[in-house]
Every structure is written in structure tokens, then in C-alpha cells.
Chain A
Amino acid sequence: MSTFSAIGEEREIDRDEYTPGVEPQPTWCPGCGDFSVLKALKQALPEVGRSPEETLLCTGIGCSGKLNSYLDTYGFHTIHGRSLPVARAAKLANPDLEVIAAGGDGDGYGIGGNHFIHTARENHDMTYIVFNNEIFGLTKGQTSPTSPKGHKSKTQPHGSAKEPLKPLSLSLNAGASYVARTAAVNPNQAKEILIEAIEHDGFAHVDFLTQCPTWNKDARQYVPYIDVNESDDYDFDKTDRVEAAEMMRTTEEALYDGEVLTGRFYVDDERISYGQEKQQIGEMPEEPLAERYWDDDYEWERSYDRFVDKHE
């Protein structure tokens, strides 16, 4: 038996394997968009052939962070805003793992914004799902980085004076090599996009519109939605940075005018992942580092033999 025999195992995977015995029914509010992320993941993971024990799901804090309780994989429910640095290090330590990070709009675009920019910039081979409901749900309805300008809440009683953050444009400019938006009300597209994102060899960012029926009652339910890749009204090349940027801008502005545009906005299949970049310059081993600690034949080098002579 190898050290990590769950990795790369050839077998049929049933989507029920991802349902935990404890709390098989999530405790999100009825009608919450988060259910759709869970469902789409349970559909996507078996299709890409990734079992619960070769998958590491890292979440942040918020309603979205509960995903770890409802999707039965190896999990790391981290701290607010920090799922990405934990996740990308795990990927560097063991590139054979399927690493997925997830969090909300406050978690990823607010407190964790710095990590978002840099993880996208570095193009780590991982999937990042942002549950974007334009509100802080778990703390009961405060204005978030993606709440529209003028949004009123207990913490913005006169309406937010801030323009909302534009996550797709930010992601593209930071360096993500796959950028998509989907919506909870669009399960087939969501599943397909998640499959593509997981299979993409680089940083795949999925802005997942998840309606919050409890704290964002006034907000749209993200219907009707339009798939920009299929609609005749939009014509752009998702592999072209400039056209992608323009389409993203249109999409981000349209959302606040009541029009929900979704789809794949930017796909760069040419760019190699960060791990590969590091391997090319000799800063990362070819074999997963995590395997080495289990290899009884590995000769661990010591500073005495390698480094101390220059101090003589």
C-alpha cells in the first residue's frame, strides 16, 4: 500500500460518498443559494474522478465556511479570509491532492483580498469558489464588499457610499487564468463550470452568485440569468484578455442594473501553473514533498555534510 493510496485510485465514485453521516442535511436557511454550490460540487467531483480522500477542501469563515461540514472530504475550515494561503501551501506540499478553496464575498474579497490577489497572480493550480451573496449573512446582514452602492444595513444606515468591488475584473488583473461566474439558480451551468474549474491547470476563480433569502431579501434572486457564452447578444473571445476585460466590466455593471450575466469570462490554457513555474527554475521538487517523509529509502541530507564547511 502506498502512502497516499486514495490519490489516483481508479474507481467509480458515488456522489453520496461526499455526504457526511453527521449533519447530512445542511442547516443553511431554506432557499439559500449555498445549497446549490454543495450540489454542484457533489456532481462535479465524481465526474472529474476525484474521491473524498484525495480532495482537500479549505474554507474560510461565514455561512460558506459551513461547506466543510456538509461535504465529506479532507477538510480545513480555516480562519476568516485565510483559506487561500492554507490551500495553496497544501498544494505545493502535495501537488497530487485536488485542492479547492471556498469562502464568501466578505471572506475572499474583503478580509482576504490580499491573499486573493496574490494567489491569482501566482496562478496556483486550484479552484477558488466565492459564494457571492452581496451581504454578510452569518453576522446577520451587514453590507459587504460586493453590496451595491446605497445598500442600507445596520452598519450602513444611510446607505453604502462605496462602489461595489468588481471581482471578475480584479481576478483577471491579478492574474487568474480561469475566471467564471455562475449562479445558484443555474445548476447545470454551475456543475459544468465547476468541472472545468477543477480540471483547469491553474488558478480557477468561480464567482458563484448565491442568493440570501434571509438577509438580502430585497436583492434579486439572480433570475433570469443569461449565459454570455451562449447568448447571441454577446460576442467576445474568452481567451482574449482585452475582450474578456470588457465583457467582465459590462457584466459587473449589469448586475446592479438587474441583469444577471454568467458564464466563462476568461480562460487561459497556455499558462503553466505556479508549481510548474517553480519546478522549472529548480525551486520545487518533481516528486511531491509530502511523499518524502514516508520513503524509508530516502537519504536525508544534513547541514553538516552540505553547508557547514563554508564556516570553517
Chain B
Amino acid sequence: MTDQELIWRISGGSGDGIASTSQNFAKALMRSGLNVFTHRHYPSRIRGGHTYTEIRAAADPVDSRGDGYNFLLALGDSFARNPQEGAVYGNEEIKPLSENLDELREGGVIVYDEGLLDPSEIPDFQQRVEENGWHVFPLDLRGLARDMGREVMRNTAGVGATCALIGMDLEHVEDLMRDAMPEKILDPNLEILETAYDQVREEYDVDDVEVSVPTGEHEETQLLMSGSDAISYGAIDEGCRFIAGYPMTPWTEVFTIMTQNLPELGGISEQVEDEIAAAALAVGASHAGVKAMSGSSGGGFALMSEPLGLAEMTETPLVLVEAMRAGPSTGMPTKPEQSDLEHVLYTSQGDSQRVVLAPGTVAEAYEQSRLAFRLAYEYQIPTILLYDQKLGGELKNVPKSHFDREPNPTLGKTLTEEELAEQPHSADGKFHRFQHDVEDGVTPRSIPGQKGGRFLATGNEHDPTGHISESPDNRVAQIDRRTQKLEAIRADLDDEDTSSYAGPDDAEYGILTFGSQQGTVEEAVGRLNDAGVSVKSLGVSDMLPFPTEEVRTFIESVEEVLVVEMTASGQFRGLVQKNLGQYGEKLSSLLKYNGNPFEPAEVVDGFEAAIIEGDGDASGHQTTFVPAAGD
């Protein structure tokens, strides 16, 4: 086990540079030929509070966080507050060490900064070390960093110590530091890296350490990318050059990446007064002929309900991204959950129509971001890309070639002025923008400023010119036409291959999931298969229009299905049953809503308890089993 994967956790205070240090180390591991996957845990705090990032690295593909971890680098929390200072969070100073012991595997390694952390404050620390066979290395990282000029360099010292203990050459770490650091701080950082490395090698006998860096090799160049990066690049490659938004965790990442890149591409980003305005701006820009997007997270997305409905009614192409976090209301801003599913599917009044896609991986996030734009513009319908804090923030290596694709800036069914002249118009010259009988329900549009194209876009029901109409015949014709678009989109999506399968086709049991839990479920299926359990999985991305027949085929092919999702109320299972109208006796749920994403072992144990043993009691995990209850 220890040679097969390294799961390195760096812990400290929010604001201590944990994220950047871990990102560079993940990249170094990737460059050394390994596959990597990161998981981050951080509090909703301005500064301070225990945070960690975990990097899982292995020669084999990794699509999920692991079960526990095997190497802890515990730094101090510079902003920690303690009870005597009136803090309500307990003794924060010791948390980078104390909070991370439960998940450390037997035989694991602990490097802690003895300049900041005193393990005698942790009850039974020595006893736990002995029981678990942990290898503990107290190092004065802060002192070393202070001696060399800057205390913040203790992160680098910790990385140097890590490399010494796991037998990792410094070459890739040093290369990365040269790429990422400005001249001024580079040399002292390189120096402290090597000093810490040498010091550990000299002072300790590292041969006893059971954790070592695996070796691997990539066949092609890899990129370390987050879901937020991938969504942004997908948008750019589809010709999106306008974004409007209002900051909100975790959607802010996509907003920031787009905002930083768009000016270079001659695009426009607008940070505006609220999310109602943000979505309305995207509608306005799209109406005027630009590929546009907006987005938010739960509460901010709620404010977008009305502009969303306006885009639907006026058939203005629009892409919104929704980065879910734990709700309701402000909920837990930095914690992932999938419980905005129903909100996104059903918000906005009337028989409204939209497309909702939920990518499962970083690679899919890029593809489905592009797909969201293509569908929105080809079918003149709002498309929502639904993801969460987990997928948005996790880093994973993806082959560079995955992004080597042609751009697609086309606006969909728009007309040139020559083509407009051939289209039906009213006697007064108004263009029939909303014709009744057209293929796939999509009626071509004009762009303001075009001669012969004027029409009225309105949220009221309207006739072919856009004029407000309450005629029953027109009403039925228009709503039928708009609805018809979803059937065409479903047929289109059937060729897109957005779903993900794992496990043998002829498996006895199934696991159904959606969005960001896909990688974890697939790893669990692999482990169950290795243990001789006959199970397969289906990760669904198309939430609306739903791939009813595909899911039906999957459910019918197995005896029982466990539906895995990060909600408390089984929203995805509900969606499956709503669309299929049966199989209620075959579908049970494994839910998790404690603020942390599933670990593969939780799915493995949950599946065994639910399906094999049948009582659903997976002790030791904070997951919930809900048995099948019929239709």
C-alpha cells in the first residue's frame, strides 16, 4: 500500500499559504510522472482557522480523494486565536496537528513544526503514536525559516523535509519554484528547501520510513487543473467574451479566472451590484449578439431566477454556472454539497425550459462547459452548468491534448441581413422572430442593428413578431414550440456521451450518482470488483433533459441500485424516480451532508451495508442510508 500511493496532507492556518504550497507540490509530483488529485478543506473565516490540503499521488490514475492519508506536514496557524483571547473555536494553535490525527493511517509519517506546535497539549499523543506505528519528526521549521530571513518560508522548509523523508528528488520542486517565484524570494527559498532536506537526511535515519514517493511515467504532457479552470477554458473556447457577476464562494473562482483572462482576448467582464443584475447583463449582452455568461452559488443563484425566466421566454441564449455549497440559506460557504439540484432544475415561474448539465470530473467540466454554450446558442435556451465546491476546487492532472480543440464562436441560428430579407415579416416591416412552425422549435434570430430584423423581445407571451399576445391559439403554438426544443436537445445529447460507466456490464448491482461524486464512486466500484463484488456504476451528467432511457436500461440490467449523492433529502434519487415513474422498490440511497465529500471507503462500506448485508448500517461513517420505499 505505502509504495502504491502517497497521500500528503499539509495543514495550517487559513492564510498561511497552504493552498499555494500544496499546488506547487502537486505539480512537482505530476511532473515526476505521477497522477495527482487534491482535496482541500478550509473554514469560512477571514483569516485563521484550521485548513488543510491533501494531495493523492500514484502511478495509476486517481479520480478521488483517498481513504485517510499517510503523510502529515503540520505547520502552525499564524492567525490562531485561543480561549484566553476570547476565541470560541477552542485552542486553535494546536489544531494543525490535533485535528488531523484521526484520519492518519497506521505507519504514517508526521512532520510538525516544533517551533509552533507542542504535542504535549494533545491527550494521549504518545500513546496514539505507538499504537499506530506513526513515524514522528519534530522539526523547528519556523526557526529555520526565521534564521534564513522570512518566517513564511517554513512551508518550503516543510516541503524539503517531506522530500527527504519520502525519497523524492528535489529537482521538480526546484524547477517549479523557479517558474513560480519572483527573483527576490527565489534564492532564499531554494536555500531553505535544500537545508531542510539535508538536515533531515543528516539527523534521521529515513530508511525506516514506510511511506515513499511512488514512481510513474506519463505518456504525454499533463496539466494540473481545477474544475473552475476547466469551466473557464471551455467557455473561452466556445467564444464566450462577456461575463457579469457578483462575488460568492465558491463561484468566485470561475468569475476571477474569466475576469483575469478576458481583457487579453478583447472580452468584457463586469462586476455588478447584485446577482439579479449579473444575470440580466448576460441576457442583455447575449441579446446584442455576444456570447455571454454569468453564474453564482446557491443564494446568489436564487436571485437569478427572474432573469433566467426572462431568457427562457425571450429565447435569449444564456449560460449560467452554479457552484453548489452546503445550504440552506448561507449554509456552510466553503463546504461542498449537491443540494441545489432541485433549486436549479425548478426555479423560476411557469412551465419554464432550460438545460442543466452536471459534469463529473475536471476533464468533463471543460467538455460540458463547451457543450453548455453550444446548446444554449444553437437552441436559444438558458443552460446551467451545475457543479460544486469539490469539483471547482480540486486539482487533477489532465492530458494537455484534451484541450487541443478548435474554437467554436458561432452564435447558432442567427441571420445575415441578406437572409433576414428572405424571412417572413409583418406588413409594417417587423421580423417574425418567433415563428410557430419551425424545425426543432428553434426559430432564427436577428441582432439589434441589423436592417430588416427589428422585433420585440418580451417576457410576456407574444406572437411571431414579439408583440404581446394572449390569443389561445398563439399561446399553445408558442409554448409547444418552446417545449419541443427539449426533445431536440435530448436527441442531440444522446450523441454526446456525457455519462460515465465503471465496472462490468453484466454486474449484479448498480450504483447511480451524478456530478462531482462520480470519481469517488468509480474508485469504490473498482475496489468492490477487486473484492469480488459484482457491481457497476453510472455517473449521470444530463440533469435536464434527463437521459431517461439510458438510466432505465442501467436500472433494469441490475438487481438493486444504490443512489449516492451529497444531499440530505435524496434529490437525485427523486429526480430519477420522477423521470422513470417506477423502480422505487429497487432504489435506495446513500447520503452524505456533513460538509465533506464522500471518501471511496464510505461508498464501499455503505454499499456493502446497504446491498450485501441489507441493513444499511455502515458504522464509523457519517453517511445515511435510506432504504427503497416503492414508487
Residues in A lying within 8 Å of B, measured CB to CB? 1, 3-7, 9, 20-23, 52-54, 56, 58, 61, 68-69, 72-79, 82, 84-94, 96-97, 114-115, 117-118, 278, 282-285, 289-290, 292-294, 300-304, 306-308, 311-312
Q: Does B448 have its Cβ within 8 Å of any Cβ on chain A? A: yes
**Whose C-beta in chain A lies nearest to the C-beta of B314?**
A76
Taking CB atoms, residues of chain B closer than 8 Å to A78 are 280, 283, 310, 459
Taking CB atoms, residues of chain B closer than 8 Å to A289 are 241-242, 266-268, 290
Looking at the complex, which one of B268, B276, B447, B448 makes contact with A82 (CB distance below 8 Å)? B276
Q: What are the 5 A-B residue pairs with the smallest beta carbon separation, nearest first?
A: A21-B428, A89-B284, A4-B449, A303-B233, A85-B280
A79 touches B274 (CB 8 A): no
Q: Does B20 have its Cβ within 8 Å of any Cβ on chain A? A: no
Given the known interface contacts A79-B459, A89-B292, the answer about A73 and B454 at a Cβ–Cβ threshold of 8 Å is yes
Complex CA gap A1/B242 in Å reads 26
Complex CA gap A82/B274 in Å reads 12
Taking CB atoms, residues of chain B closer than 8 Å to A82 are 276-277, 280, 306-307, 310
Complex CA gap A20/B276 in Å reads 31
Taking CB atoms, residues of chain A closer than 8 Å to B452 are 53
Taking CB atoms, residues of chain A closer than 8 Å to B400 are 304, 308, 312
Q: Does B451 have its Cβ within 8 Å of any Cβ on chain A? A: yes
Complex CA gap A297/B546 in Å reads 39
Complex CA gap A91/B270 in Å reads 13
Residues in B lying within 8 Å of A, measured CB to CB? 31, 221-225, 229, 232-233, 236-237, 239, 241-242, 244, 261, 263-270, 272-274, 276-278, 280-285, 287-292, 306-307, 309-310, 314, 400, 403-407, 409-411, 416-418, 426-430, 447-460, 465-468
**Whose C-beta in chain A lies nearest to the C-beta of B225?**
A311
**Whose C-beta in chain A lies nearest to the C-beta of B468?**
A69
Complex CA gap A52/B446 in Å reads 14
Taking CB atoms, residues of chain B closer than 8 Å to A89 are 242, 244, 270, 280-285, 288, 292
Additional pairs, 14, CB under 8 Å, beyond known A74-B455, A306-B264, A312-B221? A1-B417, A1-B451, A22-B430, A75-B458, A76-B284, A78-B459, A79-B306, A79-B459, A82-B306, A85-B276, A92-B285, A94-B288, A115-B273, A115-B280
Taking CB atoms, residues of chain A closer than 8 Å to B273 are 114-115, 117-118
Taking CB atoms, residues of chain B closer than 8 Å to A3 are 416-417, 447, 449-450
Complex CA gap A65/B570 in Å reads 43
**Whose C-beta in chain A lies nearest to the C-beta of B30?**
A312
Complex CA gap A22/B314 in Å reads 19
> A111 → chain B, closest Cβ, in Å?
10
Taking CB atoms, residues of chain B closer than 8 Å to A306 are 236, 261, 264-265
Complex CA gap A20/B467 in Å reads 10
> B606 → chain A, closest Cβ, in Å?
34
Complex CA gap A298/B459 in Å reads 34
B409 touches A290 (CB 8 A): no
Complex CA gap A5/B448 in Å reads 10
Complex CA gap A273/B273 in Å reads 18
Taking CB atoms, residues of chain A closer than 8 Å to B270 are 89, 92
Looking at the complex, which one of A58, A72, A284, A311 makes contact with B268 (CB distance below 8 Å)? A284
A304 touches B404 (CB 8 A): yes
A6 touches B450 (CB 8 A): yes
Looking at the complex, which one of B224, B266, B447, B454 makes contact with A72 (CB distance below 8 Å)? B454
What are 29 inter-chain pairs, A to B, with CB distance below 8 A? A1-B417, A5-B450, A6-B449, A21-B430, A22-B467, A53-B450, A53-B454, A56-B448, A68-B456, A75-B455, A76-B314, A76-B457, A77-B456, A77-B460, A82-B310, A86-B284, A89-B282, A90-B285, A90-B288, A114-B274, A115-B273, A115-B276, A284-B268, A302-B403, A302-B405, A303-B233, A308-B223, A308-B233, A312-B400
- Inter-chain residue pair count (beta carbon < 8 A): 237
Taking CB atoms, residues of chain A closer than 8 Å to B274 are 114
Taking CB atoms, residues of chain A closer than 8 Å to B232 are 303
Complex CA gap A4/B221 in Å reads 44
A93 touches B288 (CB 8 A): yes
> B531 → chain A, closest Cβ, in Å?
36
Taking CB atoms, residues of chain A closer than 8 Å to B241 are 289, 292
Taking CB atoms, residues of chain B closer than 8 Å to A56 are 288, 448
Residue among A72, A76, A84 with most chain B CB within 10 A: A76
Residue among B222, B242, B244, B458 with most chain A CB within 10 A: B458
B284 touches A93 (CB 8 A): yes
Taking CB atoms, residues of chain B closer than 8 Å to A114 are 273-274, 277
> A167 → chain B, closest Cβ, in Å?
18
**Whose C-beta in chain A lies nearest to the C-beta of B316?**
A76
Complex CA gap A281/B417 in Å reads 34
B307 touches A79 (CB 8 A): yes
Complex CA gap A52/B449 in Å reads 9
Taking CB atoms, residues of chain B closer than 8 Å to A23 are 467
A96 touches B266 (CB 8 A): no
Complex CA gap A282/B400 in Å reads 30
> B527 → chain A, closest Cβ, in Å?
30
Taking CB atoms, residues of chain A closer than 8 Å to B428 are 20-22, 72
Taking CB atoms, residues of chain A closer than 8 Å to B427 are 21
Complex CA gap A283/B287 in Å reads 21
Taking CB atoms, residues of chain A closer than 8 Å to B263 are 282-283
B280 touches A293 (CB 8 A): no
Taking CB atoms, residues of chain A closer than 8 Å to B458 are 68, 75-77
> B568 → chain A, closest Cβ, in Å?
33
Taking CB atoms, residues of chain A closer than 8 Å to B467 are 20, 22-23, 69
Residue among B283, B405, B409 with most chain A CB within 10 A: B283
B284 touches A58 (CB 8 A): yes
Taking CB atoms, residues of chain A closer than 8 Å to B450 are 3-6, 53
A304 touches B403 (CB 8 A): yes
> B304 → chain A, closest Cβ, in Å?
11
Taking CB atoms, residues of chain A closer than 8 Å to B272 are 85, 118
Complex CA gap A94/B236 in Å reads 19
**Whose C-beta in chain B lies nearest to the C-beta of A2?**
B417
Complex CA gap A97/B284 in Å reads 12
> A142 → chain B, closest Cβ, in Å?
20
Complex CA gap A115/B278 in Å reads 10
Taking CB atoms, residues of chain B closer than 8 Å to A304 are 237, 400, 403-405
Residue among B31, B263, B274, B280 with most chain A CB within 10 A: B280
